[in-house]
Chains A and B, each alone.
Chain A
Amino acid sequence: NAGVTQTPKFQVLKTGQSMTLQCAQDMNHNSMYWYRQDPGMGLRLIYYSASEGTTDKGEVPNGYNVSRLNKREFSLRLESAAPSQTSVYFCASSRTSAGNTIYFGEGSWLTVV
């Protein structure tokens, strides 16, 4: 049972470098999400894709871009990494965005130095 798979699990970047976090789900879900988790702040939504072909900004989209490559895959790109983007990133998916259970990946730890 793979569920939601995200890569890489750990990454250290220098300020100004770019990188892409990859996410894939094998549950045939329509909706996918990217969150960041910071100490004492819970999870905050960066971007989401309610269905294939659509993407929308969440609560904290600045400094990020996303691509819904197909129904299975939803990537998150940092074009010019900043220390403020040091965080744990979670990809998630759900059957639809209308209150269905969300399934999370295991997280990607990103440090920007």
Chain B
Amino acid sequence: AQSVTQLDSHVSVSEGTPVLLRCNYSSSYSPSLFWYVQHPNKGLQLLLKYTSAATLVKGINGFEAEFKKSETSFHLTKPSAHMSDAAEYFCVVTLFGNEKLTFGTGTRLTIIP
């Protein structure tokens, strides 16, 4: 079985300050993990993915995530928030391929000018 929990439904940060979006997963085996971003009225776009290679994964737009097996976490970070980062972010896990993706409930990121 697999599941994913996004620990915060809403995060607000000031422009220029660090971003941390938290994701914990539950999986019987080594999963593949993804972060997707959804801007208002748009489809989802892949930010980054972990597939059992390097545990620190770098994505687009300055985001990165670290896979920590001991903590079953895959938190998303960015050193300095930009106004364009305001969006909804989804943590996604799969053991068996795309038809078995499990999406988290999302974290809405607000950037304060």
A interface list, Cβ under 8 A from B:
4, 31, 33, 40-45, 48, 50, 56, 58, 90, 92, 94, 97-107
Contacts and interface: CB of A to CB of B under 8 A. Distances in A.
B100 to A, nearest CB: 8
Interface of B: 9, 32, 41-46, 49, 51, 90, 94, 97-99, 101, 103-106
Contacts of A107: 41-43
A33 B9 CA distance: 26
B49 A101 contact: yes
B43 A106 contact: yes
Contacts of B42: 106-107
B90 A106 contact: no
A74 to B, nearest CB: 13
A1 to B, nearest CB: 13
Contact of B99 (A44, A50, A103, A105): A50
A15 B77 CA distance: 44
A99 B51 CA distance: 9
